[in-house]
Amino acid sequence: MKHDYPDRYSGLDSPLHRLDPRSKLFGFTAALLIIVSEPRGELVPFLFYFALIAALLLISRVPVMFILRRCLNASPFILLAALLLPFSSLLSDREAGLTTEVWNFSLSVVLKALAAIILLVLLTSLDKFHRLLKGLRSTGFPAVFTVLAALMYRYIFILNDERLRTQMARLSRTPGRLRRGRFRVIGNQAAVIFLRSWERAHLVHQAMLARGFDGSFPEYGKLVFVPMDIIFCCSLTFLFLLIRIGI
Amino acid sequence: MHIADGILAVEIVLVADAASIGALYLFGKKIDTDDIPKMGLMAAALFVASLVYFPVAGTSMHLGLYGLAGILLGWLSFPVVFLALLFQSLLFQHGGLLSTGINALNMGAGALLAYGVWSLKGLPEWLRAFTGGFLGIFFAAILMAGEFHLSGYGKGFFYVLAGYAVVAAIEGGLTVFIIGFLRKVKPAILNN
């Protein structure tokens, strides 16, 4: 398995890393909700939101460049959304041109989405992914979905290795640019990934049944919610709320 | 194709989240313990297969395969699509965390529609596969256009639909080859 990127910085030692995953899930979700509820066209509050996010980043010790690189993943769709309103405005009334209101709307969409992505990357960098799933489960998320998610997380990396192997096979058989039969070759690659997953699912199921699987995984090590977790969760929500209501 | 947080009006996102969780609860009741490994691995496979990139017209595109999920898993495709999107959001920032509900509704609806088309046994298999793959993407794009319009972005996204139609046609073509391969190698997989 060569893919460690989701948990790359979750092993750091910082006050934020030491918190209970539920506290981080609640706090960051509340912060996300507050940011996305900011009215469109408002730009000034984002100065404060980003200052607060920068403080969180500083405390977490997660490298800024790592966060920014991850932000690039979502940038094409954000740019498309940001350019949509100017495009629609020009389509509906070319004479009027683009007003400051339209540009403010677009800029606020970019800032909002960017702040939300940074928070999301930070959240997933503050704890091991399986602990976040465990946190989700203990908040009342149905067990069937957390078991599904745990299985999915366990096999994503194995199947991704399979994808890389099939990709290597595809490239070795069809070197250079694919021209004729391009779709058939790519379709076969995707089909092979599905087929191997399907067969693996049968083996996994039989192995799970042999070990007494009854629809849930046994839990080892309970999560402990201490007063510091409540303080973090409430103060994070409170600070974001202060900016939102404009104090 | 994955809507990030902060793009759409928050009311629309929250209503979609509620609807999505309701749908998840409904479909969740249909899940049998025996289905769990199959669903978990198919969700992982859907996630991984969507990382297969290939060159198209000077740029690169990746597979969505929501139509294929509908064809292979039927009703169970909705929770699988939801989970795959949740993971794509958390691990790769493809789509936002709060927007998982609306993304799942868009793409889950495409997957369920593909399942509906696949169930029309009177049509030739290649046509059902193509239409399923096409609708898996295009129906989601139509829903997105409506959501952008309702969120105050005007009608611009309806013009972007032309681009999505091309992407959906490519996906439909690929679905035909995937189904053809599976029919040849493991036909049992297609008998859900």
**Count: domains in chain B:** 1
On the question of pLDDT at B147 being above 60, the answer is yes
DSSP per residue over chain A, as a string?
----GGGTTTT--STTTTS-HHHHHHHHHHHHHHHHTSPTT--THHHHHHHHHHHHHHHHT--HHHHHHHHHHHHHHHHHHHHHHHHHHHHH-TTT---HHHHHHHHHHHHHHHHHHHHHHHHHHSS-HHHHHHHHHHTT--HHHHHHHHHHHHHHHHHHHHHHHHHHHHHHHS-S---TTHHHHHHHHHHHHHHHHHHHHHHHHHHHHHTT--SSPPP-S-----HHHHHHHHHHHHHHHHHHTT-
CB within 8 Å of A231: residues ≥ 6 apart: none
Higher pLDDT: A175 or B117? It is: B117
- The answer to whether A116 and B96 have CB atoms below 8 angstroms apart is yes
Q: Which tokens belong to A84? A: 């949509």
In this prediction, residue B112 carries a pLDDT of 93
**Nearest by CB to A151, which of B33, B36, B84?**
B36
In this prediction, residue B107 carries a pLDDT of 92
In this prediction, residue A87 carries a pLDDT of 79
On the question of pLDDT at B129 being above 90, the answer is yes
Closest residue by Cα to residue B100 from A14, A32, A112: A32
Instruction: Say if the Cβ atoms of B43 and A92 lie within 8 Å.
Output: no
Q: Which residue has the tokens 């595109």?
A: B61
Interface test with B, best of A24, A32, A36 (most B CBs within 10 A): A36
- pLDDT tier for residue B44 given thresholds of 50, 70 and 90: confident
Residue B170 included in any domain = yes
What type of residue is A106?
A: S
If 0-12 CB within 10 Å is exposed, 13-18 middle and 19+ buried, where does residue A31 land?
Answer: buried
- B53: three-class secondary structure by DSSP: strand
* Closest Cα in chain B, distance from residue A184 (Å): 6
CATH of the domain at B20: 1.10.1760.20
**Nearest by CB to B42, which of A70, A189, A197?**
A197
**Residue B53 main-chain phi, psi, to 5 deg:** -100, 150
Size of interface A-B (CB pairs under 8 A): 244
Lowest mean per-residue pLDDT among A187-196, B165-174, B179-188: A187-196
Q: Which tokens belong to B138? A: 């295009």
Closest residue by Cα to residue A244 from A74, A5, A46: A46
- The answer to whether A81 and A109 have CB atoms below 8 angstroms apart is yes
Instruction: Say if the Cβ atoms of A195 and B5 lie within 8 Å.
Output: no
Q: What percentage of chain B exceeds 90 in pLDDT?
A: 33
Q: Which residue has the tokens 């493991």?
A: B186
Alpha-carbon dihedral A97, A98, A100, A105, rounded to 10 degrees: 150
Query: Cα–Cα distance between A176 and B155 in angstroms, integer?
Result: 41
Whole-model pTM: value is 0.86
Q: Using an 8 Å CB-CB cutoff, list chain A residues near B43.
A: 148, 152
Other Cβ atoms closer than 10 A to B76? 24
**Nearest by CB to B6, which of A35, A105, A162?**
A35
Strand partners, B56: B59
In this prediction, residue B57 carries a pLDDT of 57
In this prediction, residue B55 carries a pLDDT of 62
Spell out the domain ranges in chain A. 5-136+224-244, 141-210
Other Cβ atoms closer than 10 A to B128? 21
Q: Average pLDDT for residues B81-106, to the nearest whole number?
A: 88
Query: Cα–Cα distance between B76 and B190 in angstroms, integer?
Result: 14
Instruction: Say if the Cβ atoms of A215 and B159 lie within 8 Å.
Output: no
In this prediction, residue A117 carries a pLDDT of 92
Interface test with A, best of B14, B41, B94, B166 (most A CBs within 10 A): B41
Q: Average pLDDT for residues B93-117, to the nearest whole number?
A: 91
On the question of pLDDT at B51 being above 60, the answer is yes
**Nearest by CB to A208, which of B3, B37, B170?**
B37
Instruction: Say if the Cβ atoms of A167 and B52 lie within 8 Å.
Output: yes
DSSP annotation of B96 reads: -
On the question of pLDDT at B53 being above 90, the answer is no
Q: Using an 8 Å CB-CB cutoff, list chain A residues near B52.
A: 163, 167, 186, 189-190, 193
In this prediction, residue B110 carries a pLDDT of 92
In this prediction, residue B139 carries a pLDDT of 93
Domain of residue B63, residue span: 10-190
Instruction: Say if the Cβ atoms of B93 and A109 lie within 8 Å.
Output: no
Phi-psi label, residue A61: left if phi above 0, alpha if psi -120 to 50, beta otherwise: left
What type of residue is B119?
A: S
Higher pLDDT: B112 or A246? It is: B112
Residues in chain A, pLDDT under 70:
1-6, 92-97, 175-182, 247
Mean pLDDT of chain B: 86
Residue B3 included in any domain = no
In this prediction, residue B113 carries a pLDDT of 94
